[in-house]
Amino acid sequence: MKREFPMLITVIAGLGYLLFYFIPHWPFNLIGEMFQSWVIVISAFAILLGVGSLIKVHGDRISRKTEGWPYSIILLSGVFITAILGIWKGVDVGTPFDYIFRYFYSPMGSTMFSLLAFFIASAAFRAFRAQSREATMLLVAAFFVMLGRVPIGELIWEGFPKIASWLMNFPTTAGQRAIMIGAALGVVSTSIKILIGIDKSYLGGD
């Protein structure tokens, strides 16, 4: 019961959606649309589960006074203040939630990602040492794409934008297509394995 019933739910949900796609008429259209709406609700609860888990982990850290526990208080304050203000006062422009978004969330997010500019520079140095033919190709492609996509590249040599465009339109497109087709076939085969009950890893242990 602990495993069989969830597997049945998986099959009903997956086949329900597939039937809705291939037979978009009553009653499958209603079932498909209803299932799509349900999955939005359940996915919202999945995010709440993630936040609940975060609260649990940091609540434990505070109660056990493990190393760095004061930072957990800051984290939990951030969670509760933002969530409560957002739920209570709304998320529209001019609300306290919007203030938090503009002066806390957005600057910290941008700064965190911009921090990677410094670390990616050292990664680039390692990658760009061109120790093999493949690394050289990566180096050359990155070099031309970067110089071809900024105004200074065109000022140095007008051929840079043309080479960058050609690299993007042909070899890069070919590589991306190979990855996309390969990944798509992999996802489809995994999905079929889940629906016919071969892959049960999502059910976990016991």
Partner 1 sequence: MVTNLAIVLPANSDNIGIWIAAFLTLCIYSFLYKDNPFYKFAEYLFVGVSAGYWVARQYHNSLIPNLWNKLVIDHNFLYIIPGLLGIMMLMRLIPGVAWISRWAISFVVGMSAGINIIANLQGNAIAQIRGSIVPLWSGDILTSIYNWVLLIGVVCGLMYFFFSIEHKGFFGGVSRVGIWFLMVSFGASFGYTIMARISLLIGRMQFLLGDWLQVIRM
Instruction: Report residue 32 as tokens.
Output: 């498909």
Instruction: Identify whether 27 is preceded by a cis peptide bond (ω within 30 of 0).
Output: yes
Instruction: Report residue 58 as tokens.
Output: 């940091």
Tell me if 163 sits within 8 A of 149, measured CB to CB.
Answer: no
Task: Work out the number of other CB atoms within 10 angstroms of the CB of residue 94.
Answer: 9
Measured from the CB atom, is 23 or 203 closer to partner 1?
A: 203
Q: Verify binding: residue 156, partner 1, rule CB under 8 A.
A: no
Looking only at residues 104 through 143 of this chain, which bind partner 1 when binding is defined by CB under 8 A? Answer: 104-118, 120-121, 124, 127, 133-135, 137-143
Question: Cα separation of 175 and 150, whole Å?
Answer: 23
Q: Which of 162, 185, 197, 198 binds partner 1 (CB under 8 A)?
A: 185
Looking only at residues 5 through 34 of this chain, which bind partner 1 when binding is defined by CB under 8 A? Answer: 5-7, 9-18, 21, 34
Alpha carbon 63 to its chain's center: 32
Over the window 158 to 177, marking each residue x when it contacts partner 1 by CB under 8 A and - when it does not, the resulting string is --------xxxxxxxxxxxx
Question: Going by C-beta distance under 8 Å and a sequence separation of 6 or more, which residues neighbour residue 35?
Answer: 13, 16, 17, 20
What is the nearest approach in angstroms of partner 1 to the Cβ of residue 12?
7
Looking only at residues 43 through 62 of this chain, which bind partner 1 when binding is defined by CB under 8 A? Answer: 43-54, 56
How many residues are recorded in the chain? 206
What is the nearest approach in angstroms of partner 1 to the Cβ of residue 157?
17
Token pair 């087709």 is found at 181
Looking only at residues 64 through 103 of this chain, which bind partner 1 when binding is defined by CB under 8 A? Answer: 68, 71-72, 74-87, 90-91, 97, 99-103
Measured from the CB atom, is 104 or 157 closer to partner 1?
A: 104
Question: Going by C-beta distance under 8 Å and a sequence separation of 6 or more, which residues neighbour residue 6?
Answer: 203
What is the nearest approach in angstroms of partner 1 to the Cβ of residue 158?
18
Q: Which of 25, 41, 125, 151 binds partner 1 (CB under 8 A)?
A: 41
Q: Which of 36, 63, 66, 131 binds partner 1 (CB under 8 A)?
A: 36
Tell me if 159 sits within 8 A of 165, measured CB to CB.
Answer: no
Tell me if 195 sits within 8 A of 11, measured CB to CB.
Answer: yes
Measured from the CB atom, is 54 or 161 closer to partner 1?
A: 54
Measured from the CB atom, is 70 or 158 closer to partner 1?
A: 70
